[in-house]
Structure 1
Amino acid sequence: MVSKNISQHLSKHTLLDIITGAQMLFVAFGALVLVPLLTRLDPNVALFTAGVGTLLFQIATRGKVPVFLASSFAFIAPISYGVEMWGVASTLGGLVAAGLVFMLFAFLVKINGANIIERILPPVVTGPIIMVIGLSLAPVAVKMAMGSDIETSLPKYQLIIISMASLITTLIVAIWAKGFVKLVPIISGIIVGYSLSIWFGLVNFQPIISAPWFSLPHFSYPEFQWQAILYMIPIVIAPTIEHVGDIMAISSVTGKDYTKNPGLQRTLFGDGLATSVAGFLGGPPCITYAEVIGAVTLTRNFKTRVMTWAAIWAIVMSFVGKVGAFLASIPSVVMGGIMVLLFGSIASVGVNILVKHKVDLSISRNMCITALVLVFGIGGMVFDFGNYVLQGISLCGIAAIVLNLILPHK
């Protein structure tokens, strides 16, 4: 009788964990599939690699940190540019290398302590770079919001209505919603924009009907081209700062200092391992995801096995062919409205870093670093070395780090 009661108690708790895991995946779902849709990667592969990446992260951190890994917005522009310049395979090779840089940071933290990250990447370096990541994407967001990248007979004002409805819904939910709904502004915006797209006849349901229920994700594999690798490596700067912030945030929520146990070196290594494995399979980078930390805060559920179930849900969904077909049917104009807010938010994070750390731009060295990074990034500066072209975020990252090292502090 006692064993039966224990069994029922355990099965109840397991069922609750499974349901909560599905909820956590739902919170992460918006950004998780948004990045592959915008960068021409397969969303089903993104689901699979996010699930596998989360499980690898748990192994690396000894199952102590309750987080879920999803796609990073910081990689949208680099992946899109890489696919256009060198193709998908070479871009994936660059992403594998980006994961190795995460692991290098983990090694540096293990040897020198967590402060090494701030010494290499102080706020005067990271702030302007993150601003450039957001601002350089602004024309892409506006073009998508206006429907300039799709062929349709719909008048422009209807496309604007769809994108602005998506944007306004995302804003309203992010600011005024309460409880769990506040954690899913992106999904809320997509639902409203998608509904309007159906109303205006912009959605083609035939691919969804034709898609099989069960289908293997369309994995693709990397090629290693040094130009793509050198371009992608500096992009890791922004996600590294984001990762440190996320780990500190979840530590604050749970009352445990994860920077010490299991240690920042293990969490960074987990992100790097997940990102490299994702690159090997054709998925976008996998890093700790802030919205899921918000869900943990709201539910007060600190069990890492909930994230294990979220990962399992993601892997199972990746084999449902109709999921990918449905996601592919979302018109880009719906995404455009949401991107206006998201890309602006990335730039705002960069500004906030400068303000929060009281970076004094009246000091010449700080002003020079910030000014050069912003003009190089937004203006489109290109250093052409023949076989290798240095531009965009890569150029900004290298310029900022070098200037910070060589310019005198006094």
Structure 2
Amino acid sequence: MVTNQTSQASDQIKPSWLDIVTGAQMLFVAFGALVLVPLLTGLNPNVALFTAGVGTLLFQITTRGKVPVFLASSFAFIAPISYGVAQWGIPATLGGVVAAGLVFMFFAFLVKINGTNIIERILPPVVTGPIIMVIGLSLAPVAVNMAMGNSIETNLPKYQLIIISMASLITTLVVAIRAKGFVKLVPIISGIIVGYALSCWFGLVDFTPVIKAPWFSIPDFTFPSFKWQAVLYMIPIVIAPTIEHVGDIMAIGSVTGKDYTKNPGLHKTLWGDGLATSAAGFLGGPPCITYAEVIGAVTLTRNFKTRIMTWAAIWAIIMSFVGKVGAFLSSIPTVVMGGIMVLLFGSIASVGVNILIKNKVDLSISRNMCITALVLVFGIGGMLFDFGNYVLQGISLCGIVAIILNLILPRN
């Protein structure tokens, strides 16, 4: 009996070539959005690869290797990181990312002492739905400007830039809706490939940086500084990824037939996300949380081995030291990304709408209508509260307003 258990344990630890290849496949599924966040926010894509790998390993250690997921950045952080970089610079924004990881850990502590329902009490659908809608809709002008080519300097006529962005968008749509099997899991990569090919055809891509870049290069790590303005701005952003995390953990549990909210426990998985996010912030990468696309790949392949995610993490770390990878990713024109962002940010807003519909939030009730209305108008309209040295606006303002209104408004 002991010998059999030892043999099974040894087999679980011993890697195989198939696991190594499958791990690379999982990284490929995550690759599109994994590098999309740093490319759109000004962070280093090689560092993002490194921190995603390290974050996944930290998550596995925290959850004792029981949950087969890969960690990468949430799209909910694109807007706040971009704003933070423009407002306070990259180091201060990274300090906010570290603080965001600590908020994940705080939620983990609340779940540990109060149970999983505490998240629902603090962040009910009437709070999370409108906030997620604002995250997507507030980015709409950015996506449209990028898709129109307003953010790049080129002699190409506008119609050619529109052709590139719309080709990227249409390809992403077609793959997401019509594709079958594994291809359906990589719509973003498909859109980038088509858009990049057209960009090369129109002469928009400069390959000089790729040619000059070394094959081996240590990632350009950036270490955080801490400004209370950036920290306070970033903290409310954690609301949306927290809800996303709970959904992801339940989704992977339904696929594998295990209840990960009990074993290892939702507090453990939230703690793993927080630890990975803070570690990423300390090294210069975007936040690391559980990643839905990889859950789709697990569903498709029916391969539930956690060590496959370990190999995906190892592949990410190895690729982060290939200098030409970062140079190639940086050569992708922003107009290509703009086409994909039109769909991406719209889908984020749609998630918020779906939360309200799925949970049957009755907007004819004055309480629910007031919370939703104020969050949408404050967020999309650009409301700000100026306190001198600190300005409260955007998603952080919406998050605070929604939570306070939910707590103080009468429920009857």
| TM-score between both structures, scaled by the size of structure 2 | 0.97
Q: Following the alignment from structure 2 to structure 1, what is the Cα–Cα distance between the partners of residues 73 and 121?
A: 26
Determine helix, strand or coil for the equivalent of 1:390. strand
Secondary structure of 2:392's match?
Answer: strand
Q: Matches of residues 87-236 of structure 1 in structure 2 within 5 Å?
A: 87-236=89-238
Could you tell me how far 1:71 is from its partner in structure 2?
1.0
After superposition, residues 53-92 of structure 1 pair within 5 angstroms as: 53-92=55-94
Distance 1:198 1:222 in 2: 36
Aligned residue for 1:372? 374
Residue in 1 aligned with 2:279? Answer: 277
Number of residue pairs the alignment of both structures matches: 403
> Paired residue for 1:48?
50
Structure 2 letter corresponding to 1:200: F
Q: Secondary structure at the match of 2:389?
A: coil
Residue of structure 2 equivalent to 1:331: 333
Answering whether residue 351 of structure 2 is matched by residue 349 of structure 1, we say yes
Query: 1: CA distance between counterparts of 2:271 and 2:216?
Result: 33
Alignment of 1:319 onto 2:321: yes
Partners of 2:128 and 2:363 in 1: CA distance: 14
Equivalent residue letter for 1:206 = T
The Cα shift of 1:13 comes to 6.0
Shift of 1:10: 9.5
Return the offset for 1:11: 11
Percent pairwise identity: 87
Q: Mind listing any 5+ residue stretches in structure 2 that lack a counterpart? A: 1-7
Shift of the 122–308 alpha-carbon distance from structure 1 to 2, 3 Å rule, reads same
Measured against aligned partners, the alpha-carbon deviations of 1:161-190 in whole angstroms (never above 9, x if no partner) come to 000000000000000000000000000000
In structure 2, what is the Cα distance between the partners aligned to 1:340 and 1:283? 24
Q: Distance in 1 between matches of 2:79 and 2:341?
A: 12
Report the Cα distance in structure 2 between the residues aligned to 1:175 and 1:85, rounded to whole angstroms.
38
* From 9, 14, 17, the counterpart of 1:15: 17
Displaced runs of 4+ in structure 1, greater than 3 A?
Answer: 9-13
- Which amino acid is the alignment partner of residue 78 of structure 1? P
Q: For 1:359, what is the secondary structure of its paired residue?
A: coil
What amino acid sits opposite 2:170 in the alignment?
Answer: I
What residue number does 2:396 align with? 394
RMSD, aligned α-carbons:
1.2
1:3 aligns to what? none
* CA deviation map 1:133-173 (0-9, x unaligned): 00000000000000000000000000000000000000000
Counterpart residue type for residue 201 of structure 1: G
The aligned counterpart of 1:404 is: 406
